[in-house]
Chain A
Amino acid sequence: MSAKKLNLKDKYRLLTRDLDWEYSYADRKKAFPYEEFEGIKITDWSKWEDPFRLTMDAYWKYQAEKEKKLYAIFDAFAQNNGHLNVTDARYVNAIKIFLTGVSPLEYQAYQGYAHVGRQFGGAGARVACQMQSIDELRHVQTQIHAMSHYNKYFDGFQDWTHMHDRVWYLSVPKSFFDDARSAGPFEFLIAISFSFEYVLTNLLFVPFMSGAAHNGDMATCTFGFSAQSDEARHMTLGLEIIKFLLEQHEDNVPIVQKWIDKWFWRGTRLLSIVAMMMDYMLPNKVMSWKEAWEVYFEEAGGALFKDLARYGIRMPKFVETTEKEKEHISHQAWWIFYNYGHAAGFHTWIPSDEELDWLSEKYPDTFDKYYRPRWELARKMEAEGKRFYSQALPQLCTTCQIPMGFTEMDDPTQIAYRSSDYEGEKYHFCSDGCKHIFDEEPEKYVQSWLPVHQIYQGNCGGASVEEVLRDYYKLNLGADNLDIKGSPDEQRWKEWKGVA
């Protein structure tokens, strides 16, 4: 006699909330030691509304279906030499940044959600975080597979996990996630689920995935589609966590606001790499960074914060700075990489005539005035056979760890300098936002592993920059780094395409 089949509602209850139990002989506080130290007050976990509405058995089935389709396309992509259909060898450099800078964050997200998925007292929140954790692991795996084909034909893909842990500019995304994961579980969710996945994720995924579509990269584009339904669930978790915290206790409001302020700013700094990708790295442009910011943050985010106003939540601090920054940061970020192209694990280049004109058109108030002259200088020097690379290491911001290349937004000819003194030491920042984050939690950021200082402390191998790049970062010098002009990537591309 077989057991009666459960109806959906019962099955859902049994496989989610019913996994919890009452603590009769153990101390509940000891079982969930992370739940109180952040100052968040939870009065009733049963008010948590499950954002995913999925049970594990349905989840496996559903993801397995997607996986089958995804891998069929990866196979077809490889068998048909899909890499030959991308617009240009330059495009692949955007994917190198994705693999070394973003995919490892998916892995960090997997670890982060697995951790908080153990630490919440409420079973609903635990189950949601555990499912997202598995999603994130799946994302990192499928991204590796999607991009592995390029590793056979292009430089710079070979040692991405090693690079993520060590290379100077990758400390920007790495430290972002280290910061979130070393916070308490509630801050982690506000940081990643709300501020990143809900408020800013469209600015990461849409540009990369539409960028892939516009540039003939079927593998990455297909991964994007496959991850889309997961991302939608993740956004729902982001919205649920914030509403839940704000409805549980009014004392949570200022704490949550502080986290939104911090993680919004951390997020905008992290996205400067996406900004330069959109404006400079895609041979076929999707839209300018400024346009993307207006559509995905100013319009969509504006509506969201209007909704949250009834809880006493206001727009993130420094949002008015971002209104000015959207005119500048992509240009300033790509210039940093052009300056330090000898130390990057991907190629850099000067925009073409057409691209310079596109930039002038998209940035009529700033490009010709401030940024075209930089590229004209670069061109002049290149024409004289003196493609220049900076000959000394840059100063870094203590908080975001980006070289101090961002200017005053009201005076774009002047680098912005901010600093704080803490226990007799000086600390430097690129912006009011990064200084504010430090001043709120100095104990955390005095530990920043700043790559430039680490090199000078002798913790990154050899004494010369070349030794650090070759032995500690494991870059294949002369292949992975330097300008795309004259690179092996460019040479192979020309051979495949039959151009001299």
Chain B
Amino acid sequence: MSVRAITPDYKVQARDRVENFHGNQIVYVAWDHHLMFCAPFAYALPPSMTFAELRDQVMPEAFGLHEEFTKINWETATWLLDNQPFTPDLNQSLKAQGVGHKSVLRFQTPELTGFQGKAV
């Protein structure tokens, strides 16, 4: 469907195109079933950043508030990229492995069930 506009051939540019982010792209990251964090986090990251840099340098500041964060076994944690199963390559750039502008990355740690085992 499209909008009914008073202007013929109403066309606009999307406000959040990647070129508006000064070389960065937006990537959303969430830890499933850990609702201490009320919503996924939004990061502005260079597409050339490696997955290892994202995981080990960017994520700990916010996710590290959770007492289970240091207990995560990254060998067994699973990931979804834009809702599809995904195996990250730590040494490759985000862009090279398909993590694009406004991609959603979610990870699951089934053995860690959150505060009181209640997904918090």
Is the CB–CB distance between B14 and A423 below 8 Å?
yes
1/0 per residue, CB under 8 A from A, across B44-82: the answer is 100000000000000001100100000000000000001
A35 to B28, CA, bound (A): 42
A33 B41 Cβ-Cβ under 8 A: no
CB-contact partner of A449 in B3, B11, B15, B106, under 8 A: B15
A333 to B, closest residue via Cβ: B38
In the complex the two chains form, is B102's CB within 8 Å of A403's CB? no
Given the complex, which residues of A lie within 8 Å of B14, measured CB to CB? 422-423, 425, 446-447
User: Among A405, A453, A458, which residue has its beta carbon within 8 angstroms of that of B15?
Assistant: A453
Among A15-45, those with CB < 8 Å from B are 33-34, 37-39
Rounded to whole angstroms, the CA-CA distance of A376 and B13 in the bound complex is 46
B residues less than 8 Å from A452 (CB atoms): 42
A370 and B38 contact, CB distance less than 8 A: no
Alpha-carbon separation in the docked complex, A461 to B83 (Å): 34
In contact, A458 and B65 (Cβ under 8 angstroms): no
Instruction: Give chain B nearest CB distance to A53 CB in angstroms.
Output: 32
Contacting pair B17 A425 (CB below 8 A)? yes
Q: Which of B22, B35, B62 contacts A457 (CB 8 A)?
A: B22
Closest CB-CB distance, B65 to chain A, in whole Å?
5
B38 pairs with A443, CB closer than 8 A: no
Interface residues of B, dominant DSSP: loop
Tell yes or no: B116 within 8 A of A by CB: yes
Closest chain A residue, CB of each to CB of B83: A417
Interface residues contributed by chain A, number (CB under 8 Å)? 57
Contact A395 B16 (CB under 8 A): no
Does B90 reach chain A (CB closer than 8 Å)? no
Partner of A184, one of B4, B20, B35, B62: B4
Query: B84 an interface residue at 8 Å Cβ cutoff?
Result: no
- B15 to A395, Cβ gap below 8 A? no
**A-contact 0/1 string along B3-33, CB 8 Å cutoff:** 1111000111111110011101010101011
Asked whether B61 lies within 8 Å of A392 as measured between CB atoms, the reply is yes
- Please tell me if B94 contacts chain A, counting CB pairs below 8 Å: no
Q: A414 within 8 Å of B by Cβ?
A: yes
Q: Which of B1, B3, B40, B42 has the most CB of A within 10 A?
A: B42
Question: Which residues of A are found within 8 Å of B114, using beta-carbon distances?
Answer: 373
Are A339 and B37 touching (Cβ within 8 A)? yes
Is there an interface contact between A414 and B115, defined as CB atoms closer than 8 Å?
no
Q: Is A404 an interface residue (CB 8 A)?
A: yes
A404–B40 touching, CB < 8 Å? yes
A99 to B75: give the CA distance in the assembly, Å: 50
Contact A373 B115 (CB under 8 A): yes
B42 CB to closest chain A CB, in angstroms?
A: 5
- Taking CB atoms, residues of chain B closer than 8 Å to A413 are 33, 35, 118-119
Count residues of B near A (Cβ-Cβ below 8 Å): 50
Q: Is A239 an interface residue (CB 8 A)?
A: no
Pair A395/B42 contact, Cβ less than 8 Å: yes
Q: Mark A435-454, 1 if CB is under 8 A from B, else 0.
A: 00001111110111110110
Report the separation of the CA atoms of residues A477 and B16 in the bound assembly, to the nearest whole angstrom: 29
Contacting A373 at CB < 8 Å: which of B21, B28, B33, B120?
Answer: B120
Q: Out of B2, B36, B83, B102, name the residue touching A441 (CB < 8 Å).
A: B2
**Judging by beta carbons under 8 Å apart, are B12 and A456 in contact?**
no
Q: Report Cα–Cα, A190/B28, bound state, in Å.
A: 35
* Assembly CA distance A47 to B118 (angstroms): 59
Find chain A residues with CB under 8 A from B120 CB.
Answer: 373-374, 377
In the bound complex, what is the Cα–Cα distance between A453 and B35 (angstroms)?
Answer: 23
Minimum CB–CB distance from A233 to chain B (whole Å) comes to: 29
Question: Across the interface, which residues of A come within 8 angstroms of B10, CB to CB?
Answer: 443
Q: Are A37 and B5 in contact (CB under 8 A)?
A: yes
Verify B41–A392 contact, CB threshold 8 A.
yes
List the B side residues contacting A184 at CB < 8 Å: 4, 6
Q: How far does the Cβ of B11 sit from chain A's closest Cβ, in whole Å?
A: 7
* A297 contact set on B, CB distance < 8 A: none
CB distance from A325 to the nearest CB of B (A): 16
Q: A184-B6, A392-B62, A405-B39 are in contact. Are A426 and B17 (CB under 8 A)?
A: no
Known: A391-B62, A395-B28, A423-B14. A457 touches B20 (CB 8 A): yes
Which 5 A-B pairs give the minimum distances between C-beta atoms? A413-B119, A392-B62, A373-B118, A392-B41, A394-B39
Q: List 8 A-B contacts (CB under 8 A).
A: A336-B38, A391-B61, A395-B30, A425-B101, A425-B102, A426-B101, A428-B28, A446-B13
Other A-B pairs, 6, CB within 8 Å; known A426-B103, A447-B15, A456-B42 = A390-B62, A413-B118, A415-B39, A450-B15, A453-B15, A456-B26
Q: Which residues of A contact B (CB under 8 A)?
A: 33-34, 37-39, 184, 332, 335-336, 338-340, 369-370, 373-374, 376-377, 388, 390-396, 403-405, 407, 413-415, 417, 419, 422-423, 425-428, 439-444, 446-450, 452-453, 456-458
